[in-house]
Amino acid sequence: MSYQSITPGECAAKLSGADRVVVVSGAGLSTAAGVPDFRGPKGLYVTRAYDPEQVFEIHGFDRDPRPFYAFTRDFLSLLGTIRPTFTHRFLVELERRKPETTIITQNIDGMHQRAGSRRVYPMHGDYETAHCRGCGRGYEGSEVEAMLEHQEVPTCDRCGVAIKPDVVFFGENVRHFNEAQSLAGASDLMLALGTSLTVYPAAMLPEIAGGEVVIVNQGEVGMRPRPGVFLADANLDEFFQSVAAELDWSVEE
Ligand code: CNA
Ligand code: ZN
């Protein structure tokens, strides 16, 4: 069985008929803003600018947190210079019109929140808070950022061990998984956007979706086709510009 393809017009019609829309978003949503993904053509698994399996691996961090902080320095300074994409802004409009819309994101870039989406569950955590790996003391993301100005690795005031931002690493539990599961089950339409659907457990959410699923992703996705799952192999911003035009929604800058 192959995927049933879907046009922006058909996606617009599905959105019109839905109330409980659940969006599962991935790194592809932010590539147009200039943030490299993992598995896309310019992703970190291809360019190896950073090795994700080394940078985001919890035992590796405990042995040597420097590779993660080298990545983090670059990543945070990049975030300071970029803006949400059209698709981020489209999702803000979607929530304005359909207040039960929820976003479950695998992204750690905070772009949904910056764009103005309110019901956002960052399954892979974010840089808003941090914890010491030694004594567990909590820190604000802004404190860690300030320490980065004069320390290669921010360390705990109390015990001297490295502080780790609350970004979920390989080998750690994801956040909000129970909510994510029940939201997926209760959804009447799921949009899986810019995700290769290969990182578990986020990748299982479309499998347990209560209603139809529309995947918009350029390139391969790791989900088996089944009835009720539609795929557009398309550029996200172009696709949602067409969806917005079909719906006659104006999307704010
Ligand atoms: P992924 O496995 O890198 O997949 C991204 C997918 O998006 C790929 O299939 C790309 O081909 C596709 N894609 C890229 N650009 C576009 C576009 N403009 N339009 C349509 N499709 C596009 O990333 P996933 O999110 O599936 O994997 C989960 C990992 C990646 C999570 O742990 C994230 O934390 C992690 N990650 C996050 C960010 C971020 O926060 N922006 C960046 C890089 C990696
Ligand atoms: Zn400590």
Nearest CA to ligand 1 atom 10: 40
Is ligand 1 within 6 A of the CB of residue 39? yes
Active site (catalytic) residues: 124
pLDDT in tens, the chain (253 residues): 788 999 999 999 999 999 999 999 999 999 999 998 888 887 876 777 778 888 999 999 999 999 999 999 989 999 999 999 999 999 999 999 999 999 999 999 999 999 999 999 999 999 999 999 999 999 999 999 999 999 999 999 999 999 999 999 998 999 999 999 999 999 999 999 999 999 989 999 999 999 999 999 999 999 889 999 999 999 999 999 999 999 999 998 8
Is ligand 1 within 6 A of the CB of residue 38? yes
**For residue 53, how far is its CA from the centre of ligand 2 (angstroms)?**
25
Atom of ligand 1 nearest to the CA of 27: 25
Atom of ligand 1 nearest to the CA of 167: 34
Atom of ligand 1 nearest to the CA of 39: 3
Total Cβ atoms within 10 A of residue 152: 12
CA gap 9, 161 in Å, rounded: 54
Is ligand 1 within 6 A of the CB of residue 31? yes
pTM: 0.95
Task: For residue 154, give the ligand nearest its CA.
Answer: 2
DSSP notation for 80-121: TT----HHHHHHHHHHHHSTT-EEEE---S-HHHHHT--SEE
Residue with tokens 């190896």: 48
Is ligand 1 within 6 A of the CB of residue 60? no
